[in-house]
């Protein structure tokens, strides 16, 4: 058990389970015993209880009914099932909205919503806060000492914003604090003399609105930060109530690259991250790109705390909310689940155990169908995976260790969203990130997705695609990373604005970065979608799309030039030796990815970044990932290529489930192997 970072002190296996809503079946409680029987057959060791169950727990204000969770906890204890207990704030009872309308959310047009749906509460409402703290306390007190309780799950996929007066007041206080109660500081950072939008005092501040202020970028980005801060504050409020009675770890389920909340900030409130993964598998053009994108999302979630995470939700078969709800083909759910583990998850969990009979999610995939029995394809695949995960227990607590990082910031997402310029709608920051990620991923090189304010110490390579927001301080930290021997890759649109979206004066990329890269980016050309520009580099011809920046090179070595347009023959790809390190600058967006692949390949070789399989080719569409710890190394090979594959390995490995020794791997369509080195 040494050298392993288990998420739970008292659980050393992979978690296998998911959302369980017994309250929907309280009129037929015999089904709960059938659930226990079936869960055993499915090899479930965990159930997530209580998501959206407030109206069951507190049917009327101050009237409580814990009979459902009591019954399930008792059964869980008897059956050795662990419970992840959710707090119910994701949806509120009807009485609350009736009696306390302020608990409902107010939209940006300042209209308050009617009761309905979920995720519809105001994060600032004192009544809502009082009510949630109360019910959380009761839950914590009641179940803290159950041996079945594994951890706490706060709310569900927290998201959204509220524009009510309570929230506006909290925003005013947030601004006061940020700008030291000095309105002129705010006026300067928000550049409010533009269009005569000056503020005389903080009281005048209003959240951005479709019917009001929405053009002041300093305001819009501060509002998004406020929404994050207020959500985190609400989360802390919920957690404090739990902690009064229970010290079990706390998580909340995130949504990957959801843009509404800065997940780096939110993650600080919990002990570990969990997330809900619903990929678009079975695409007509194949799943290679999607597999890499999902890999990147797992890595982003893991990097939030640089710690293993839980896959809190995934579907055993299909979802019901996409435009096209296709079935996962046989084997796909298994490799999709193993992919999460390969990237640092210590669980495979589903939404949901049993299909609900009515309402909007009745056709969403579940382990148990309306049919109700175990002889279905989906149930069999789930049970088989459960059995396999039991044999993979030793993987739990081992880690994904990365020497390369990509900078990925919610601040930049928001500023690029607001920016009027470049391609106005859709700057494709995610695509730019994935372009670089894919080149590492393809080679089986582990990558973290870190924030610009995180530590750079553990990395040899940092890629900063479209790093539009960069304050002088961050520029200085990047400079010292390179000075000490790191390799940095910057691209077009780098370090143009400060943290308040105010343009840097004196040249881009800002401050010391011009020395680090040995150049200045002077103008940025945006192309029409059907246009492209030729690139000459590495003795080959490549193609740029979307963006071409024009550079004034000072000290950098020119490695590539534009091959067309009025900037033909001017530099578009450079490297600069700075201190003990190197800084590459890519001034254009690579159209096909072949240029980026070559660049990342060279850098990875130069910095000797560890790869999953040394010196052997990984077939396109096969994920190869390493998890390690306690002196053991596990190699995951997952075939998303859409056809069968055979590949040479860099030595002899043991197939964990069978004990077979292999030095080359055969992977059928949608097949996967977990090997021990
Ligand atoms: C989200 C929610 C679940 C459920 C699923 C359906 O992840 O957390 O409650 O609605 O989506 O895919
Ligand atoms: Zn509000």
Is residue 183 within 8 Å of residue 201, measured between CB atoms?
A: yes
Q: Residues 462-477: pLDDT tens digits?
A: 999 999 999 999 999 9
Tell me whether residue 71 is in a domain. yes
Q: Residues 591-603: pLDDT tens digits?
A: 999 999 999 999 9
Residue 506 is part of a domain; what is its CATH number? 3.40.50.880
Residue percentage of the chain with pLDDT more than 90: 99
Residue 459 makes CB contacts below 8 A (sequence gap 6+) with 402, 403, 404, 405, 448, 481, 486
Looking at the structure, tell me whether residues 500 and 648 fall in a common domain: no
- C-alpha of residue 485 to centroid of ligand 1, in Å: 45
Which domain-ending residue is among 395, 423, 439?
395
Q: Counting atoms of ligand 1 from 1, which one is nearest the CA of 276?
A: 7
Q: Is the CB of 156 under 6 A from ligand 1?
A: yes
What is the token pair recorded at 51? 């998501």
Tell me whether residue 444 is in a domain. yes
The per-residue pLDDT for 1 is: 45
Q: Residues 355-402: pLDDT tens digits?
A: 999 999 999 999 999 999 999 999 999 999 999 999 999 999 999 999
Please state the rounded mean pLDDT for residues 513-536: 98
Q: Look at strands 149-153 and 82-86 and give their pairing.
A: parallel
Q: Look at strands 149-153 and 250-251 and give their pairing.
A: parallel
What is the token pair recorded at 509? 């990329």
Tell me whether residue 450 is in a domain. yes
Is residue 228 within 8 Å of residue 258, measured between CB atoms?
A: no
Please state the rounded mean pLDDT for residues 334-345: 98
Please state the rounded mean pLDDT for residues 117-131: 96
User: Whose C-alpha lies nearest to ligand 1, atom 4?
Assistant: 351
Q: Is the CB of 276 under 6 A from ligand 1?
A: yes
Tell me whether residue 184 is in a domain. no
Please state the rounded mean pLDDT for residues 239-266: 98
Looking at the structure, tell me whether residues 418 and 389 fall in a common domain: no
Looking at the structure, tell me whether residues 303 and 381 fall in a common domain: yes
Q: Counting atoms of ligand 1 from 1, which one is nearest the CA of 321?
A: 12
The total number of structural domains in the chain stands at: 3
Looking at the structure, tell me whether residues 296 and 348 fall in a common domain: yes
Looking at the structure, tell me whether residues 123 and 68 fall in a common domain: yes
Looking at the structure, tell me whether residues 429 and 491 fall in a common domain: yes
- C-alpha of residue 472 to centroid of ligand 2, in Å: 35
| 16 pLDDT above the threshold of 50 | yes
Q: At what angle do helices 332-342 and 377-391 cross, to 10 degrees?
A: 30
Which domain-ending residue is among 333, 368, 395?
395
Tell me the catalytic residues. Answer: 157, 313
The per-residue pLDDT for 658 is: 96
Which domain-ending residue is among 337, 369, 395?
395
Q: Is the CB of 319 under 6 A from ligand 1?
A: yes
Residue 286 is part of a domain; what is its CATH number? 3.20.20.80
The per-residue pLDDT for 342 is: 98
Q: Counting atoms of ligand 1 from 1, which one is nearest the CA of 51?
A: 9
Looking at the structure, tell me whether residues 587 and 649 fall in a common domain: no
Looking at the structure, tell me whether residues 593 and 568 fall in a common domain: yes
The per-residue pLDDT for 10 is: 86
Mutate to test the pocket of ligand 1, among 119, 154, 276 (most ligand atoms within 8 A of CB): 276
Which H, E and C letters describe 121-157, residue by residue? ECCCCHHHHHHHHHHHHHHHHHHCCCCCEEEEECCCC
Q: Is the CB of 21 under 6 A from ligand 1?
A: no
Tell me whether residue 664 is in a domain. yes
Cis peptide before 187 (omega within 30 of 0): no
Bridge-partner residues for 626, per DSSP?
635
- 116-151 as b/e, with b when 16 or more CB fall inside 10 Å? eeebbbbbbbeebbebbbebbbbbbebbbebebbbb
List the one residue out of 241, 240, 248, 273 whose CA is nearest residue 258.
273
Please state the rounded mean pLDDT for residues 527-534: 97
Q: Is the CB of 350 under 6 A from ligand 1?
A: no
Residues with CB under 5 A from ligand 2 (ion): 122, 124, 162, 164, 166-167
Q: Is the CB of 339 under 6 A from ligand 1?
A: no
Residue percentage of the chain with pLDDT more than 70: 100
Cis peptide before 8 (omega within 30 of 0): no
Tell me whether residue 49 is in a domain. yes
- C-alpha of residue 351 to centroid of ligand 1, in Å: 7
Question: How far is residue 360's CA from residue 353's CA, in Å, rounded to a whole number?
Answer: 16
Which H, E and C letters describe 10-62, residue by residue? CECCCEEEEEECHHHHCCCCHHHHHHHHHHHHCCCCEEEECCCCHHHHCCECC
Question: How far is residue 229's CA from residue 215's CA, in Å, rounded to a whole number?
Answer: 22
- C-alpha of residue 141 to centroid of ligand 2, in Å: 29
User: Whose C-alpha lies nearest to ligand 1, atom 10?
Assistant: 361
Q: Is the CB of 226 under 6 A from ligand 1?
A: no
Q: Is the CB of 157 under 6 A from ligand 1?
A: yes
- C-alpha of residue 259 to centroid of ligand 2, in Å: 20
| 340 pLDDT above the threshold of 90 | yes
The per-residue pLDDT for 2 is: 60
Relative to the alpha carbon of 122, which ligand is closest? 2
Please state the rounded mean pLDDT for residues 175-182: 98
List the one residue out of 364, 368, 398, 365 whose CA is nearest residue 383.
368
Question: How far is residue 208's CA from residue 163's CA, in Å, rounded to a whole number?
Answer: 9
Looking at the structure, tell me whether residues 431 and 474 fall in a common domain: yes
Question: How far is residue 265's CA from residue 242's CA, in Å, rounded to a whole number?
Answer: 20
| 482 pLDDT above the threshold of 70 | yes
Looking at the structure, tell me whether residues 345 and 387 fall in a common domain: yes
Tell me whether residue 193 is in a domain. no
For 375, the enclosing helix (H) or strand (E) is none
| 242 pLDDT above the threshold of 70 | yes
Looking at the structure, tell me whether residues 452 and 597 fall in a common domain: yes
Residue 629 is part of a domain; what is its CATH number? 2.60.40.1180
Looking at the structure, tell me whether residues 536 and 657 fall in a common domain: no
Please state the rounded mean pLDDT for residues 199-211: 97
How high is the mean pLDDT of the chain? 97
Domain containing 420 equals: 404-606
Which segments within 57-139 are labelled E, that is strand?
A: 82-86
Tell me whether residue 179 is in a domain. no
């Amino acid at each position: 058990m040494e050298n392993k970072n288990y998420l739970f002190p008292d659980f050393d296996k992979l978690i296998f389970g998911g959302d369980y809503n017994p309250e929907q079946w309280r009129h037929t409680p015999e089904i709960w015993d059938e659930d226990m029987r079936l869960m055993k057959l499915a090899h479930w060791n965990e159930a997530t209880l209580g998501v959206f169950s407030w109206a069951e727990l507190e049917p009327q204000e101050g009237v409580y009914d814990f009979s459902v969770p009591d019954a399930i906890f008792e059964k869980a204890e008897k059956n050795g099932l662990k419970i992840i207990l959710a707090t119910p704030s994701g949806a509120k009872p009807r009485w609350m909205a009736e009696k306390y309308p302020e608990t409902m959310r107010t939209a940006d047009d300042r209209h308050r919503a009617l009761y309905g749906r979920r995720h519809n509460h105001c994060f600032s409402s004192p009544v809502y806060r009082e009510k949630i703290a109360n019910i959380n306390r009761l839950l914590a007190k009641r179940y803290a000492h159950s041996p079945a309780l594994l951890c706490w799950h706060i709310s569900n996929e927290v998201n959204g914003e509220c524009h009510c007066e309570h929230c506006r007041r909290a925003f005013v206080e947030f601004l006061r604090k940020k700008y030291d109660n000095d309105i002129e500081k705010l006026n300067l950072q928000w550049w409010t003399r533009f269009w005569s939008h000056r503020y005389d005092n903080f009281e005048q501040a209003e959240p951005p609105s479709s019917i009001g202020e929405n053009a002041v970028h300093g305001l819009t980005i501060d509002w998004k930060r406020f929404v994050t801060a207020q959500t985190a504050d609400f989360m802390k409020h919920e957690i404090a109530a739990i902690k009064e009675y229970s010290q079990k770890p706390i998580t909340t389920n995130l949504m990957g690259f959801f843009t509404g909340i800065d997940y780096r900030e939110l993650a600080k409130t919990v002990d570990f991250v969990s997330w809900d993964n619903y990929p678009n598998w079975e695409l007509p053009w194949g799943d290679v790109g999607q597999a890499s994108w999902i890999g990147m999302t797992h890595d982003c979630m893991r990097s939030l705390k640089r710690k293993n995470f839980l896959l809190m939700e995934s579907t055993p078969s299909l979802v019901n909310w996409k435009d096209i709800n296709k079935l996962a083909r046989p084997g796909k759910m298994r490799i999709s689940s193993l992919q999460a583990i390969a990237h640092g998850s210590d669980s495979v969990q589903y939404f949901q155990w049993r299909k609900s009979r009515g309402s909007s999610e009745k056709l969403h995939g579940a382990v148990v169908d309306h049919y109700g029995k175990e002889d279905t394809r989906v149930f069999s695949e789930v049970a088989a995976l459960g059995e396999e995960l039991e044999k993979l227990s030793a993987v739990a607590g081992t880690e994904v260790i990365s020497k390369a990082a990509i900078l990925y910031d919610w601040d930049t997402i928001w500023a690029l969203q607001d920016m009027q310029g470049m391609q106005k709608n859709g700057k494709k920051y995610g695509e730019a990130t994935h372009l670089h990620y894919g080149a590492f991923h393809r080679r089986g090189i582990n990558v973290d997705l870190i924030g610009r304010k995180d530590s750079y110490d553990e990395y040899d390579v940092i890629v900063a695609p479209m790093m539009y927001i960069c304050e002088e301080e961050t520029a200085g930290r990047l400079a010292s990373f390179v000075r000490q021997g790191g390799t940095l890759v910057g691209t077009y649109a780098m370090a143009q604005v400060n943290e308040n979206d105010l343009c840097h004066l004196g040249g881009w990329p800002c401050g010391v970065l011009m020395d680090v890269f040995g150049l200045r980016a002077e103008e940025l050309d945006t192309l029409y979608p059907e246009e492209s520009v030729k690139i000459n580099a590495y003795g080959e011809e490549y193609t740029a799309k979307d963006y071409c920046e024009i550079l004034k090179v000072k000290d950098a070595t020119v490695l590539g030039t534009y091959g067309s347009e009025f900037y033909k023959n001017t530099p578009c790809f450079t490297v600069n030796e700075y201190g003990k390190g190197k800084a590459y600058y890519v001034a254009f967006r690579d159209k096909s990815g072949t240029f980026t692949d070559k660049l990342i390949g060279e850098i990875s070789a130069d910095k000797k970044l560890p790869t999953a399989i040394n010196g052997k080719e990984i077939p396109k569409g096969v994920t190869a990932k390493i998890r390690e710890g306690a002196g053991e190394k596990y190699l995951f090979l997952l075939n998303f290529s859409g056809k069968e594959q055979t590949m040479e390995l860099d030595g002899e490995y043991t197939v964990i489930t069978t004990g077979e020794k292999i030095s080359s791997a055969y992977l059928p369509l949608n097949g996967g192997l977990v090997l021990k080195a």
